[in-house]
A and B are shown apart, each in its own frame.
Chain A
């Protein structure tokens, strides 16, 4: 598996993503500058976390017009896998690769470990997990409140595009377990084609017991299994 990690001005989880792919998975990764026009043959594109362009205007709004995003959209259009993590999720929504928007949290910036529940295994990032599996990993964002008009939200649920929900210790999606006010506790989704995935929590920062959790590993193992299938 070859993973292309896009580096925007202000990305700050690009090295974490590289570490997850190269050190934890022992797979190949290449850093791609946002002004590049070539994905260098990557099977998977990761849009990493950070504060691209200082979150000016809206988080992800400027990054989506970076030159390389044209190639990323073409890759997604061909069915190629694109993973947006945190700011990458915001960028993917702004680029209309994923539905919805990520608005300012209902209670300000949050940085803490959360528990998310896998809602569907029909995606490149959850294929090796099980439905109902609860994973602990960190979030760190000020704008992660997933928002979509109700009718579209119903369609998203009907098509099993919700991949992750924030839950409490007993696995229930309660209001108290929702760190940012996301509609229906949604933490991660995929597109209709199921090849573009976005999530606010950081699996790449939960790859080693030293980091407090290695629950992110199953998501990256899913990627590997999907690419090798």
Chain B
């Protein structure tokens, strides 16, 4: 089956995120005082051919380990595969 797997890659907690900091400051300047920290990362939508949703997730996990996320500085979250 053909599935679309969403992946979120974010800077690891505790590592300085200058993009997130700049966006936080801008939101505060605009009056959004309720904003705490903002973290800026990447969202990827990966279309894969797989036997099952679990197999699709496993394949995407391997892709994250090898290329899509930097294991030193980033964390990733794989979302539920969606049928296409």
Which residues of A does B touch, CB under 8 Å? 57-58, 61, 65, 94, 100-101, 103-108, 145, 147-149, 181
In the complex, which residues of chain A have a beta carbon less than 8 angstroms from the beta carbon of B73? 101, 103, 147
Q: Fill in one digit per residue for B41-61: 1 if any A CB lies within 8 Å of its CB, else 0.
A: 010000000000000000000
In the complex, which residues of chain B have a beta carbon less than 8 angstroms from the beta carbon of A65? 67
Supposing A100-B72, A101-B72, A147-B72 touch, asked if A181 and B67 sit within 8 A by C-beta, the answer is no
In the complex, which residues of chain B have a beta carbon less than 8 angstroms from the beta carbon of A100? 72
The total of chain B residues at the interface (CB under 8 A) is 11
In the complex, which residues of chain B have a beta carbon less than 8 angstroms from the beta carbon of A103? 11, 15-16, 73
In the complex, which residues of chain A have a beta carbon less than 8 angstroms from the beta carbon of B11? 103
Q: Are A181 and B70 neighbours in the complex by a CB distance under 8 Å? A: no
Which residues of B does A touch, CB under 8 Å? 11, 15-16, 18-19, 42, 67-68, 70, 72-73
The dominant DSSP class at the A interface is: loop
Q: Which residue of B lies closest to A180 (CB)?
A: B18
- Distance A104 CA – B70 CA, assembled complex (angstroms): 13
